[in-house]
């Protein structure tokens, strides 16, 4: 099972908490998914108002670890401020760090991300950076003190799956011992299974479950998919080949 900053998590599936039709459906989706971590947007859930308190009570009832995030931040300074708010609200050093650099694709700002990651790790935070699969960026994030990487599969909310298989495989191979979570862009359970088969430790998704016709059923299907992917990865799957190879040996076959 995944281990993040010394904490073992009971599931390879992580779920976001936004966009669900109702709190009851959100709770049902989490129960059926068995997700071990819930991500929560600090900007969306104010801790002091009644709605924020009700939401926080719901998350506590789920019995899962909370990973606050800095969703919607477009500068390092904004993300750092939001992270400090999150630490006060949720009493955790964990922070999913988002510094958005492009409004249309929601692609991370690599420069702001590194700046914020360095400042937060120096201040005792355990940073989960939302990043691209760029090797240079990821190396700089590790140098800044991050012990987890969260490369995107595709832009947030698109459901396109794993857009850059080569880049993700290269990143996984280059840092085999760094915990990595595919974050954003997954739309189908098969895409989640593929990510785990490739050796990624977990997947994080929100829209694919929250916007499904039956969110709880979709959450359960993703849970089964990551289990299948983990079993396949552990089984050491065969390498693809260019030529056909008979499954039945031809040695000893009669030729007429």
pLDDT exceeds cutoff 80 at 253 = no
60 catalytically annotated: no
Under the phi-then-psi rule, with left for phi > 0, alpha for psi from -120 to 50, and beta for the rest, what region is 114?
alpha
Q: Does residue 56 register a pLDDT over 80?
A: no
pLDDT band at 53 (very low <50, low <70, confident <90, very high): confident
Predicted confidence band at 57 (pLDDT cuts at 50, 70, 90)?
A: confident
Inform me whether the pLDDT recorded for 54 exceeds 60.
Answer: yes
Determine contact, residues 182/208, Cβ cutoff 8 Å: no
* Percent of the chain topping pLDDT 90: 77
**pLDDT value of residue 63:** 85
Does residue 185 have a known ligand-binding role?
A: yes
CA atoms within 13 Å, Cβ hemisphere of 82: 27
> Is 6 assigned to a binding site?
no
Mean pLDDT over each residue of the chain, to the nearest integer: 91
Query: Is-contact 2 177, C-beta < 8 A?
Result: no
HSE on the CB side for 215, CA within 13 Å?
23
For residue 105, give the DSSP letter: T
How far, CA to CA in Å, does 202 sit from each of 3, 103, 229?
10, 26, 10
Q: Which residue has the higher pLDDT, 237 or 53?
A: 237
* Mean pLDDT, residues 189-197 taken together: 97
pLDDT confidence bin for 97, thresholds 50/70/90: very high
For the record, the structure tokens of 68 come out as 């606050």
The single residue of 60, 96, 211, 253 carrying the catalytic annotation is 96
Q: What is the CA radius of gyration of the chain?
A: 20
- State pLDDT tens for residues 33-46: 999 999 998 765 55
pLDDT band at 100 (very low <50, low <70, confident <90, very high): very high
Q: What is the mean pLDDT of residues 9-32?
A: 93
Torsion angle, alpha carbons of 242, 247, 249, 255, to 10 = -90
Angstrom CA distances, 111 to 77, 101, 133, stand at: 12, 9, 15
Distance of CA 240 to the CA centre of its chain: 27
83 is in an annotated binding site: no
Model pLDDT for residues 109-161, shown as the tens digit of each residue: 999 999 999 999 999 999 999 999 999 999 999 999 999 999 999 999 999 99
Q: Is the pLDDT of residue 49 over 70?
A: no
Two structure tokens written together for 144: 């800044």
Domains along the chain? Answer: 10-235 (3.20.20.70)
Average pLDDT over residues 227-253: 84
pLDDT for 60 equals 82
Q: What is the pLDDT of residue 78?
A: 95
């Amino acid at each position: 099972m995944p281990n993040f900053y010394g904490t073992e998590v009971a599931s390879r599936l992580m779920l976001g908490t936004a966009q669900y039709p109702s709190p009851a459906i959100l709770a049902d989706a989490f129960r059926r998914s068995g997700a071990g971590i819930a991500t929560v947007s600090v900007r969306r859930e104010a801790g002091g108002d009644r709605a924020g308190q009700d939401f926080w009570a719901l998350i506590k009832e789920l019995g899962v670890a909370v990973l606050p995030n800095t969703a919607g931040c477009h500068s390092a300074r904004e993300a750092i401020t939001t992270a400090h708010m999150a630490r006060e609200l949720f009493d955790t050093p964990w922070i999913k760090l988002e510094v958005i650099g492009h409004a249309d694709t929601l692609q991370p700002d690599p420069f702001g991300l590194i700046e914020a990651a360095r400042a937060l790790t120096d201040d005792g935070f355990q940073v989960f950076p939302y990043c691209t699969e760029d090797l240079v960026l990821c190396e700089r994030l590790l140098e800044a003190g991050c012990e987890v990487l969260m490369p995107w599969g595709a832009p947030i909310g698109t459901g396109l799956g794993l857009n850059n298989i080569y880049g993700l495989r290269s990143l996984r191979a280059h840092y085999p011992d760094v915990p990595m979570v595919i974050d954003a862009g997954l739309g189908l359970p098969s895409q989640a299974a593929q990510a785990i088969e490739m050796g990624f430790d977990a997947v994080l998704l929100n829209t694919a479950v929250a916007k499904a016709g039956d969110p709880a059923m979709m959450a359960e299907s993703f849970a089964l998919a990551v289990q299948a992917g983990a079993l396949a990865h552990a089984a050491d799957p065969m390498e693809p080949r260019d030529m056909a190879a008979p499954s039945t040996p031809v040695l000893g076959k009669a030729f007429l």
